[in-house]
């Protein structure tokens, strides 16, 4: 365990955080929606719509990151609305509606993106946080990142704190556990679910924006490459707990970066097999968590996936 | 402030009107979209939906595209009836194409009559295995099939990419990621000279008939449907949900695999990276628009094939972006799901409840909260 070990390790860890950040945003958004009982399989589509909106906005403002992120968030939230109308107001099947959103998002983003394929952005420079970034290993990994990564830390803190410690969090959870009871007490179940779904959309939009404006930074058709679906799987892996979601996201970021480094080092494994690792890992992780039915049952929001239309 | 109230019984009229409403809405939004792209909507609709059908080649292409869509959707519908959401038919199609291509590549040069049937069987097995994996993961480990089938699609795509770029790459193919062109013994016979439509359509016709008989006559299909609509009732009756999961996923994988074999042994004629224009995903929409009914799926399969052909035609003669096809597909499913709400619900009438008292006999629908 010498310096040369860290010389290789630190770039991998730095890359891990970058690769994990879209999963963190999209996963936290989906987690909040699922906490209120709504499973939205349209994350992939919302991410793509967010990615192209952010990219277009950033190109139009000579690479303005803030404008890109806001555009991504608004576009993602707007994309979540038709899903909300279908599932919350019209009582449509959530799985089918989410799938429709993903197919639509794929089509819409490709449609808009066709005029943006030749552009590229310069990306975003990391910001070193004074003192903290000087800590060996941890410093450069956690405190010398781009601003969106820091924003993901803050978002995690806010979501975890809101769900666990605030009245709003209690209401969100109550709606997910028993919409009938929450409705009887007088909470506007449908409105609360709309809020959670739109929040999920905005988060997915920011995740997409990070990919197209910071991470790649290009527009490529279908550039999310399944990250939206992995985010949905991560919520299950996390058993609906924000801290475990972060852990899962970093685990997946690590797998993604490791396979990239392995390809770079010329490891004698076909690059396609290495590229398949995150998807294989998703299946493995799902199996490990899902086989423990009690654990799942204990944490699963009781009304997840079930439509609720107030009778009164 | 709910706008809807449940109907006493699902509306049979709405059940079949919903797809038509969805198509009309899709065309309306499409017209706005065309206008915004400075293309006259009437001209665009003519180019999309009428011009391609003015030639025999257009009809041949229509059937050629509808056939795999219908075949896959028939298999998917069986699972959807049981609420088993296999959304990875695309991956099952690719695995079917891969296995069929393996037979064609390793028997290349053989004129034997068994090559083509062996390809179809290999395709069916490949697709069925790719469907069986999520079935096993679901029955043994309780893993969601929506996520596992989709992950397996990404894995199948990467596997295909490796095959056509390394072991199966055509040495004379100037480095394109594609296999050799298959010989005549590995291709379906063309039905008419000069048209691409081939004998694989008979497989689809047979599949439609089999599913039609199966769904309307067989006890197993009844068990599957009950398992989906009333799991508790199915358990009481002793219907196995495991059996439902296995049947749904293996059969839908099998039909998707055969469709994949039909593509490489048909219009594509080789294994390529871009051999499927997303038929596996589009077939999900076809199944829903066709009301999960074996004959309804035939109609919706032709509709979806028209969207594909129209998208190609619009690209060639109106310079419209090719992504418009995906946009229409997504809109169609969105509008269908919205219209479907009115199968089980109706708009709430804005009258005080007391005034309704005298009408309750005529409308025996009792609102749930009336009991309190």
Asked if A100 is an interface residue toward chain B (Cβ–Cβ < 8 A), one would say yes
Q: Is pLDDT of A281 > 50? A: yes
Question: Nearest Cβ partner of A107 from B148, B323, B340?
Answer: B323
| pLDDT at A28 (0 to 100) | 98
Q: Which CATH number fits the domain that encloses residue B72?
A: 1.10.3470
Q: Is residue B342 part of a domain?
A: no
Q: Which residue of A lies nearest to B139 if distances are taken between CA atoms?
A: A291
Among A20-29, A90-99, B156-165, B345-354, where is mean pLDDT lowest? B345-354
- Nearest-CA distance from B26 to chain A in Å? 12
| pLDDT at B128 (0 to 100) | 98
CATH number of the domain at A2-299, please?
A: 1.10.3470
**Which residues on B lie below 8 Å from A296 (Cβ)?**
142
CB contact under 8 A, B334 and A310: no
| pLDDT at B351 (0 to 100) | 55
Helix (H) or strand (E) holding A125: none
The answer to whether the beta carbons of residues B3 and B348 sit under 8 Å apart is yes
**Which residues on B lie below 8 Å from A103 (Cβ)?**
281, 284-285, 326, 329-330, 333
Question: Nearest Cβ partner of B147 from A89, A225, A286?
Answer: A286
Those residues whose C-beta lies under 8 Å from the C-beta of residue A136, and which sit 6 or more positions away, are: A6
Question: Nearest Cβ partner of B323 from A41, A114, A279?
Answer: A114
Q: Is residue B162 part of a domain?
A: yes
Helix (H) or strand (E) holding B185: none
Question: Nearest Cβ partner of A95 from B2, B146, B158?
Answer: B146
The answer to whether the beta carbons of residues A293 and B142 sit under 8 Å apart is yes
Q: Which residues pair with residue B6 across a beta bridge?
A: B345
Asked if A225 is an interface residue toward chain B (Cβ–Cβ < 8 A), one would say yes
CB contact under 8 A, B142 and A290: yes
Mutate to test the interface with B, among A40, A78, A276, A296 (most CBs of B within 10 A): A276
Nearest-angstrom CA–CA distance, B58 and B66: 12
CB contact under 8 A, A90 and B341: yes
Q: Which residue of B lies nearest to A115 if distances are taken between CA atoms?
A: B321
CB pairs under 8 A between A and B: 159
| pLDDT at B347 (0 to 100) | 79
Helix (H) or strand (E) holding B6: strand B4-6
Q: Which regions in chain B score pLDDT beneath 70? A: 1-3, 228, 349-372
CB contact under 8 A, B326 and A232: no
CB contact under 8 A, B155 and A279: yes
Nearest-angstrom CA–CA distance, B232 and B225: 12
**Which residues on A lie below 8 Å from B288 (Cβ)?**
96
Asked if A286 is an interface residue toward chain B (Cβ–Cβ < 8 A), one would say yes
The answer to whether the beta carbons of residues B100 and B265 sit under 8 Å apart is yes
pTM of the full structure: 0.90
Over A200-265, what HEC string results?
HHHHHHHHHHHHHHHHCCECCCCCCCCHHHHHHHHHHHCCCCHHHHHHHHHHHHHHHHHHHHHHHC
Asked if A92 is an interface residue toward chain B (Cβ–Cβ < 8 A), one would say yes
Q: Is pLDDT of A62 > 50? A: yes
- Nearest-CA distance from B185 to chain A in Å? 31
| pLDDT at B15 (0 to 100) | 83
Nearest-angstrom CA–CA distance, B43 and B37: 12
Q: Closest by alpha carbon to B262, among B203, B180, B183? A: B203
Q: Is residue B7 part of a domain?
A: no
| pLDDT at A27 (0 to 100) | 98
**Which residues on B lie below 8 Å from A96 (Cβ)?**
85, 288, 333, 337
Asked if A232 is an interface residue toward chain B (Cβ–Cβ < 8 A), one would say yes
| pLDDT at B2 (0 to 100) | 58
- Nearest-CA distance from B152 to chain A in Å? 8
Classify residue A3 by its DSSP letter.
H
CB contact under 8 A, A107 and B154: no
**Which residues on B lie below 8 Å from A225 (Cβ)?**
154
Q: Is pLDDT of A121 > 90? A: no
Q: What is the mean pLDDT of chain A?
A: 91
What's the number of domains chain B is made of?
A: 1
**Sign of the torsion angle spanned by Cα atoms A301, A303, A305, A307:** negative
Q: Which residue of B lies nearest to A222 if distances are taken between CA atoms?
A: B323
**Which residues on A lie below 8 Å from B137 (Cβ)?**
283, 286-287
Q: Where are the domains of chain A?
A: 2-299
- Nearest-CA distance from B304 to chain A in Å? 14
Mean pLDDT throughout A165-185? 95
Asked if A284 is an interface residue toward chain B (Cβ–Cβ < 8 A), one would say no
| pLDDT at B12 (0 to 100) | 82
- Nearest-CA distance from B47 to chain A in Å? 19
Q: Is residue B319 part of a domain?
A: no
The answer to whether the beta carbons of residues B334 and A104 sit under 8 Å apart is yes
**Which residues on B lie below 8 Å from A297 (Cβ)?**
none
Asked if A235 is an interface residue toward chain B (Cβ–Cβ < 8 A), one would say no
Asked if A305 is an interface residue toward chain B (Cβ–Cβ < 8 A), one would say no
At A213-272, the pLDDT tens digits run 999 899 999 999 999 999 999 999 999 999 999 999 999 999 888 888 887 776 778 888
- Nearest-CA distance from A152 to chain B in Å? 25
| pLDDT at B353 (0 to 100) | 52
The domain in which residue B131 lies consists of: 56-301
Using the structure block, give the residue that is written with the tokens 């399969």: B301
| pLDDT at A182 (0 to 100) | 94
């Amino acid at each position: 365990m010498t310096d040369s070990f860290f010389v290789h390790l630190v770039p991998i860890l730095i890359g891990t955080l970058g690769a994990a950040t879209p999963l963190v945003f999209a996963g936290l958004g989906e987690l909040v929606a699922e906490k209120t009982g709504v499973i939205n399989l349209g994350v992939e589509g919302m991410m793509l719509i967010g990615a192209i909106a952010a990219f277009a906005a950033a190109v139009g403002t000579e690479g303005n990151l803030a404008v890109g992120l806001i555009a991504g968030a608004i576009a993602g939230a707007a994309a979540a609305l038709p899903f909300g109308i279908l599932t919350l107001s019209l009582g449509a099947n959530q799985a089918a509606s989410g799938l429709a959103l993903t197919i639509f998002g794929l089509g819409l983003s490709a449609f808009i993106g066709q005029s943006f394929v030749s552009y590229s952005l310069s990306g975003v420079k990391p910001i070193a946080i004074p003192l903290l970034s000087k800590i060996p290993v941890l410093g450069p990994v956690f405190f010398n990142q781009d601003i969106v990564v820091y924003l993901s830390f803050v978002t995690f803190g806010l979501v975890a704190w809101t769900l666990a410690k605030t009245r709003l969090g209690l209401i969100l959870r109550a709606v997910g556990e028993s919409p009938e009871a929450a409705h009887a007490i007088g909470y506007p179940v449908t409105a609360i679910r709309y809020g959670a779904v739109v929040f999920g959309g905005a988060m997915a939009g920011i995740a997409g924006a990070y990919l197209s404006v910071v991470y790649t930074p290009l527009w490529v058709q279908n550039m999310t490459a399944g990250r939206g679906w992995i985010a949905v799987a991560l919520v299950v892996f996390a058993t609906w707990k924000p801290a475990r979601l972060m852990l899962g996201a970093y685990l997946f970021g690590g797998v993604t970066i490791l396979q990239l480094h392995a390809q770079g080092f010329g490891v004698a494994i076909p690059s396609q097999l290495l590229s398949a690792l995150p998807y294989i890992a998703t299946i493995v992780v799902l199996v490990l968590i899902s086989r423990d039915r009690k654990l799942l049952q204990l944490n699963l929001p009781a009304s997840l996936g079930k439509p609720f239309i107030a009778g009164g | 402030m709910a706008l809807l109230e449940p109907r006493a019984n699902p509306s049979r009229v709405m059940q079949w009107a919903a797809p038509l409403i969805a198509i009309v809405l899709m065309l309306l939004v499409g017209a706005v979209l065309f206008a915004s792209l400075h293309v006259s909507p009437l001209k665009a609709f003519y180019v999309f939906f009428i011009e391609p059908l003015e030639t025999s080649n257009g009809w041949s292409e229509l059937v050629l595209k509808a056939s795999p869509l219908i075949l896959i959707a028939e298999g998917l519908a069986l699972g959807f009836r049981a609420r088993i959401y296999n959304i990875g038919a695309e991956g099952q199609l690719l695995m079917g194409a891969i296995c069929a291509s393996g037979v064609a590549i390793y028997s290349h040069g053989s004129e034997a009559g068994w090559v083509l049937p062996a390809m179809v069987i290999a395709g069916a097995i490949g697709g069925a295995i790719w469907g069986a994996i999520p079935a096993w993961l679901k029955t043994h480990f309780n893993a969601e099939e929506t996520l596992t089938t989709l992950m397996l699609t990404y894995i199948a795509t990467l596997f295909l990419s490796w095959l056509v770029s390394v072991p199966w790459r055509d040495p004379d193919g100037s480095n394109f990621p594609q296999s050799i062109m298959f010989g005549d013994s590995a291709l379906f016979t063309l039905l008419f000279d000069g048209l691409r439509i081939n004998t694989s359509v008979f497989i689809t016709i047979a599949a439609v008939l089999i599913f039609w008989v199966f769904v309307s006559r067989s006890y197993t299909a009844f068990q599957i449907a009950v398992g989906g609509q009333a799991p508790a009732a199915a358990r009481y009756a002793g219907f196995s949900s495991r059996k439902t999961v296995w049947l749904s996923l293996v059969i839908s994988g099998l039909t998707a695999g055969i469709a994949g074999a039909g593509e490489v042994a048909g219009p594509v004629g080789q294994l390529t990276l871009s051999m499927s224009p997303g038929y596996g995903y589009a077939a999900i929409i076809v199944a829903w628009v066709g009301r999960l009914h074996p004959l309804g799926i035939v109609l919706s399969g032709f509709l979806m094939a028209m969207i594909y052909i129209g998208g190609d035609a619009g690209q060639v003669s109106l310079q419209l972006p090719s992504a418009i096809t995906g946009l229409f597909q997504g809109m169609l499913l969105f509008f269908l799901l919205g219209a479907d709400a009115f199968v089980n619900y109706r708009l709430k009438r804005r009258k005080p409840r007391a005034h309704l008292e005298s009408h309750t006999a005529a409308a025996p629908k009792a609102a749930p909260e009336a009991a309190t």
